[in-house]
A and B are shown apart, each in its own frame.
Chain A
Amino acid sequence: MTDDVILQVKDLKAYFKLDEGLLKAVDGVSFDLRKGETLGIVGESGSGKSVTNLAIMRLIPSPPGHIAGGEVVFMGDDILKMSDDGIRKIRGNKISMIFQDPMTCLNPFLKISTQMIETIVLHQGLDKKAAKEKAVEMLKLAGIPAPEKRIDQYPHQFSGGMRQRVMIAMALSCEPEILIADEPTTALDVTIQAQILELINELSERLGTAVILITHSLGVVAGMCDSICVMYAGRIVERGTADEIFSDPRHPYTQGLIKSVPRLDKVSTQRLYSIPGQPPNVINLPDCCPFFPRCERAMDVCKTKYPKVAELGDKRTVACWLYGEGK
């Protein structure tokens, strides 16, 4: 482990007890995040990418959910073992989050100023006046025109892209070590998406913030991320740098996923590849490879045991029986 690792997630498990059975939303996820790095977590809906990050922030609703095991080491301390007060000092301060839908994350009854000042006063101990100045400065950084006026407006007076800018300004106002962005551009149009991604990139670089970017869009991770985790049915099936994942995908799921996205730069009339079948139901999932019913290269062993995670090199792992000693 090198010194610049600021967040280390080890074998994290988050389960939900439902009437239908035990839902293993996240089942043994491990990764680490270095200072200033942008890590992408890609996966389809239900793959556990959002729950992973809610677990890191200890935001899993309990009941029905609980964290069934693992460690989340942030700057030397295990977040999962902290007191409620301890985590509150980190949440929104050292680690902050932005979500998919900026309208539901902003309180529609409160002015932007009230919402931003609250965070800054709470975490940075500034007085209200200084906090407001700081808030205006952050809005300006986030590219909001006339921030002195806009700060006293209500969320509904902002457009979708502008609201996401407000969220980013708010999330970065305490200069966090880590910014978790959960599908930050999914609700936005392409041209606005480009603006927001550019903004996250620029600000995280300037403030030295590490970013965990959760998305289902392969295009977005390709442009933004240094390294990528691909999730399927609650586990990370493949990890590597962005270049490795896209130029040399190893897991059959990653390979299929990359092939099944139509590409703008390669106009082809050929039939698009598609992964057959449906994503699995993660309730009461047996201990086999969850991808095997859809996998073209499934073997007998895939049906009986979950593959060992094979290390293919520095920070490069794949969970598939085709690789490593399980071969």
Chain B
Amino acid sequence: MAENKNENLLEVSGLKMHFPYHTGSLWTKKKGFIYAVDGVDLAIKKGETLGLVGESGCGKSTTLRAVAQLYRPTAGSVKLKGQELTTATDHEIMRARKDMQIVFQDPYASLNPRMTTRDIISEPMRIFTRAKILSLSRTEIDERVEQLMERVGLSRFFKNRYPHEFSGGQRQRIGIARALALKPDLVLCDEPVSALDVSIQAQILNLFKDLQEEFGLTYMFIAHDLAVIQYISNRIAVMYLGVIVELSDSAELYKKPLHPYTQALLSAAPIPDPAVERKRQRIILTGDVPSPDKARTGCYFYDRCSKRMDKCAQSVPKLKDAGSGHQVACFLYGD
């Protein structure tokens, strides 16, 4: 396999995920769609970390799940190492998942309480061996479980313990070991540190960075905490109601946020320093995030935007390059 550093490991274009819903009684039934993800384009290079940030309901988790083919997308294309996944058969998707694993948010809900740590971490290897995609013997699997546990910072003597015997941070380590069991290229991380305490969060973030360096991993990393995203990512995509509104290099985004939503988001994030906090000018957004159940006619941020113009209500701004790879979907920039 020809692998070059600048090659895109994952390419997503025009990704849409609409969920149907029904309301009303039996007689007045109405059908509608939740436009959870509505046209997302992104690409992740090998070895890089792309951060997805946004508020709840903006579609970041749905994007991740649609990429992993846990949901079959409504439209669009997802290419992993050049292979199209949206039209792939179940067997092909299973093969592709060897290269693409997920770490979930809730370390309490994502580990089966009836399985021991050894069973949890070895499960992917056992499944892929049974499906004849891998051929690992029982001792090889056992050895690999021990290696993985030590690598993520758990003692191998814990392998016969059950999840409830571990703290939140340790459980997340088990989840990470499980995701790494198949030696994937791409790890999709769905808010992996949001449920953790501050001191443990730092440990896990560092672990993610170390593992990336050691195994050349590529991450798609979701978090709602902007400081966490800034720390872990090379590039960041800001999402609002199912679309990416800004995509840029991580340092650049914090220095020069272009989209009014990104600006508000950054100014709303608290900074742990009272001296800095006192001097800050906050952009306080009014209103709540609108419901994503209507088809788009204008910019979704229109109602909450302080710089809105007439044309924002009439047509949807597209993600455009505003110089040096900094993309923004806003009529304030470009023509």
Interface residues of chain A, those whose CB is within 8 Å of chain B, are 44-45, 159, 161-162, 189-195, 197-198, 216-223, 242-243, 246-247, 256-258, 260-265, 267, 271-276, 278-279
Complex contact A263–B271 (CB within 8 A): yes
CB of B24 closer than 8 Å to a CB of A:
no
CB of B334 closer than 8 Å to a CB of A:
no
Q: Which of A191, A247, A260 contacts B199 (CB 8 A)?
A: A260
User: Complex formed: what's the CA distance from A278 to B264 in Å?
Assistant: 35
Q: Which of B4-12, B73-81, B108-116, B224-232 contacts A (4 or more CB under 8 A)?
A: B224-232
Across-interface contacts of B286 in A (CB, < 8 A): 195
CB of B203 closer than 8 Å to a CB of A:
yes
Complex contact B199–A44 (CB within 8 A): yes
CB 8 Å contact bits of B39-53 with A (1 = contact, 0 = none): 000000000000000
CB of B274 closer than 8 Å to a CB of A:
yes
Complex contact B272–A256 (CB within 8 A): no
Across-interface contacts of B13 in A (CB, < 8 A): none
Interface residues of B in 73-113 (CB under 8 A from A): none
Across-interface contacts of B250 in A (CB, < 8 A): 267
Complex contact A189–B224 (CB within 8 A): yes
Q: Which of B55, B198, B269 contacts A264 (CB 8 A)?
A: B269
Give the 5 A-B CB pairs with smallest separation, nearest first.
A219-B270, A274-B202, A260-B202, A218-B272, A189-B55
Complex contact B205–A279 (CB within 8 A): no
Complex contact A261–B205 (CB within 8 A): no
Across-interface contacts of A271 in B (CB, < 8 A): 206, 209
Across-interface contacts of B275 in A (CB, < 8 A): 243, 246-247
What are 26 contact pairs spanning A and B, CB under 8 A? A44-B198, A44-B200, A161-B288, A189-B55, A189-B289, A191-B264, A191-B265, A191-B268, A193-B270, A195-B286, A216-B198, A219-B269, A219-B270, A221-B272, A222-B277, A260-B198, A261-B198, A261-B227, A262-B202, A262-B227, A264-B254, A267-B250, A267-B251, A271-B206, A274-B202, A276-B203
Across-interface contacts of B224 in A (CB, < 8 A): 189-190
Complex contact A193–B268 (CB within 8 A): yes
Residue of A nearest to B288 (CB): A159
Across-interface contacts of A262 in B (CB, < 8 A): 202, 205, 227-228, 230-231
A182 → chain B, closest Cβ, in Å?
16
Complex contact B198–A257 (CB within 8 A): yes
Residue of B nearest to A271 (CB): B206
Across-interface contacts of A216 in B (CB, < 8 A): 197-198
Complex contact A272–B202 (CB within 8 A): yes
CB 8 Å contact bits of B266-283 with A (1 = contact, 0 = none): 111111111111000010
| CB within 8 Å for A273 and B197 given contacts A191-B285, A222-B277 | no
B163 → chain A, closest Cβ, in Å?
15
CB of B169 closer than 8 Å to a CB of A:
yes
The number of inter-chain residue pairs (CB within 8 angstroms) is 133
Complex contact B270–A278 (CB within 8 A): no
Residue from A189, A256, A275 with most neighbouring chain B CB atoms (10 Å): A189
A23 → chain B, closest Cβ, in Å?
16
CB of B170 closer than 8 Å to a CB of A:
yes
Q: Which of B231, B265, B270 contacts A220 (CB 8 A)?
A: B270
Complex contact A194–B268 (CB within 8 A): yes
| CB within 8 Å for A264 and B199 given contacts A191-B264, A194-B268, A222-B271 | no
Across-interface contacts of A190 in B (CB, < 8 A): 55, 224, 226, 265, 268-269
Complex contact B272–A263 (CB within 8 A): yes
| CB within 8 Å for A44 and B197 given contacts A162-B288, A190-B268, A278-B170 | yes
18 other contacts beyond A219-B272, A222-B274, with CB at 8 A cut-off?
Answer: A44-B197, A189-B289, A190-B226, A190-B268, A192-B288, A195-B285, A222-B271, A223-B271, A246-B272, A257-B198, A258-B272, A260-B199, A262-B205, A262-B230, A267-B251, A272-B205, A274-B202, A279-B197
CB of B137 closer than 8 Å to a CB of A:
no
CB of B155 closer than 8 Å to a CB of A:
no
Complex contact B202–A279 (CB within 8 A): no
User: Complex formed: what's the CA distance from A45 to B277 in Å?
Assistant: 25
Residue of A nearest to B58 (CB): A189
Residue of B nearest to A193 (CB): B268
User: Complex formed: what's the CA distance from A190 to B54 in Å?
Assistant: 9
Complex contact A264–B230 (CB within 8 A): yes
| CB within 8 Å for A222 and B272 given contacts A275-B202, A278-B169 | yes
Residue from A44, A192, A194 with most neighbouring chain B CB atoms (10 Å): A194
CB of B284 closer than 8 Å to a CB of A:
yes
